[in-house]
Every structure is written in C-alpha cells, then in structure tokens.
C-alpha cells in the first residue's frame, strides 16, 4: 500500500474532502484513455476516501445501450399523457354537451359560465320582446 501514488491533489479527491463526494473527467496517461473519476468520503471514517474510475468509452457504451429504453419510456409517457388528456377533456366537456342553451331556466354546468348564460338569457328576452312586437305590428297591418 505504501507504494501506491498519493492522489490527494486530484480534483475529485479534493471535492470529496470538501463536500463528501467528487467527480472529474480527465485523460489517464497510465491507461491512455479518458477516464471518469469518482471519489466518496466514508461516513464511518472521514480520513478514508474511496476513489473509483471508469473509462468514458464504457460510460458512452452504457449510455448508448440505454437509448432504446429511453425512447420507449418517452413513447409510453406520450401515450399515457394522451389518454389522460383525453379522459380529462371528456370529463370537462361532457357537462357542456348536455347543457341545453335553449332552456334558459337551466343552470350552467360551471359557475364560470354564469355570465355567458345570463347574457344569452338577456338576449333571448330582448329577441322575444322584439319578435312579439313585430308579430303585433304585422297583425295590425293585415287588418
């Protein structure tokens, strides 16, 4: 163990000392590859730091292997969102489709529609009054 190099000056080790965890990516001259280094301070012994490394080409390969699963999750989430949106839209629209605008005595299915329904009721009364006035004047003209 005494022959091992001291890695205290490495960025991931410094971060582990300061924050409990650290990581960095750099080129390893020993392995001639870009490496991902991860260091973690032990919870039981703060003087003990676990340092791991993994080739970035392996990390990329793992990520690329998971791409089909990511895409599948995105497609499934899209379908789930579509059906939830469809269900919620239908549950909101259903009372509106059952609402009979011609029946002015009927209360609106949502309180937010009250001003609209009141305006329709008011316009209906105005039209009814004008229509009755036209009927009376048309009857007088025929006599």
Per-residue pLDDT tens for 49-63? 999 998 888 888 888
Q: Where are the alpha helices (DSSP H) in 43-113?
A: 56-98
Distance between CA atoms of 42 and 50, rounded to whole angstroms? 7
Nearest to 50 by CA among 1, 13, 2, 9: 13
pTM given for the model: 0.48
H/E stretch holding 53: strand 49-55
Nearest to 33 by CA among 54, 8, 50: 54
User: Distances in Å between the alpha carbon of 124 and those of 31, 61, 102, 116, 133?
Assistant: 85, 70, 9, 12, 14
pLDDT digits (tens, 9 = 90+) for 87-140: 999 998 888 788 776 676 777 777 888 888 888 888 888 988 888 888 777 766
Average pLDDT, the chain: 86
């Amino acid at each position: 163990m005494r022959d091992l190099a001291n890695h205290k000056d490495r960025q991931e080790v410094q971060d582990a000392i300061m924050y409990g965890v650290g990581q960095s990516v750099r080129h390893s001259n020993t392995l001639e590859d870009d490496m991902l280094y991860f260091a973690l301070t032990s919870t039981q012994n703060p003087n003990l730091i676990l340092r791991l490394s993994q080739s970035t080409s392996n990390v990329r390969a793992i990520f690329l292997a998971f791409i089909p699963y990511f895409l599948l999750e995105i497609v499934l989430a899209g379908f789930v969102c579509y059906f939830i949106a469809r269900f919620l839209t239908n549950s909101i629209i259903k009372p509106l489709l059952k609402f009979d605008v011609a029946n002015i005595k009927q209360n609106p299915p949502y309180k937010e529609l009250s001003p609209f329904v009141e305006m329709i009721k008011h316009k209906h009364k105005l039209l009814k009054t004008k229509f009755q006035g036209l009927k009376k004047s048309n009857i007088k003209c025929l006599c």
